[in-house]
Amino acid sequence: MAMIISRLRALAVGTLTFLWMTIAPVSATTLLNTITEPFIGHGTNGYMFGAFGPDSIGVAFNSLASNKITEIEAFMSTSTTAAVGMNFILMTDAGGLPGVNLFSKGFSLGVNSPVLLTSLDWTVTPGTAYWLIALPSPATTGVWEFSQSLAGTIAVGAGVGFGTIPALLPEVRIEGELTAAVPEPSTWAMMLLGFAGIGYGVYRRKKLAAVTA
């Protein structure tokens, strides 16, 4: 009987460990951070895009060990005094250019406040290249501040196509995390049946032991 109890305890500890590993997320990981100066707001140290300039502008990054994008902060503003509609679009990488749209998030772009999008749930493949594209509403313009010290390659949209140019990188921070898959309902059911079977087995052993005593 003592051996059975010991095995049950070991099984319970193993099950709790399994549940914690499959549900608890790993700490957030910064996938890209090009923010090197304080936010200025509408000014001259940024890329104008939309009605004045390219249709859209974007920056590449790698998902590293993350399988989900959770937060985006960007130093963007409007070219006017009125707020405009803006969209962030997550796109695949197709040979060094933005490829297929995966996710999008619309928001209102103001003059004196940086953009902060939280609680995103964009699924990505770990270790994969992606593009984050900013696209304003039709006939409006956005200004994406750029780093004074970090240079690289940016994407510029023109109509239905994209090109890339060497330039100072737009100021943005992208956060991701690695979250293990939650067990399917069938998996939970099998685990519960397993515990029920073990409990019933213990009950039967105790009953048989009482009869033979």
Burial class (CB in 10 A: 0-12, 13-18, 19+), 34: buried
Cα–Cα dist 63/69, whole Å? 8
Q: pTM for the complete prediction?
A: 0.75
10 Å Cβ neighbour count for 151?
Answer: 13
By three-state DSSP, how is residue 19 classified?
helix
Q: Per residue in 42-79, pLDDT tens?
A: 767 899 999 888 999 999 999 999 999 999 999 999 87
What mean pLDDT value characterizes the chain? 82
The span from the first CA to the last CA of the chain, in angstroms, equals 14
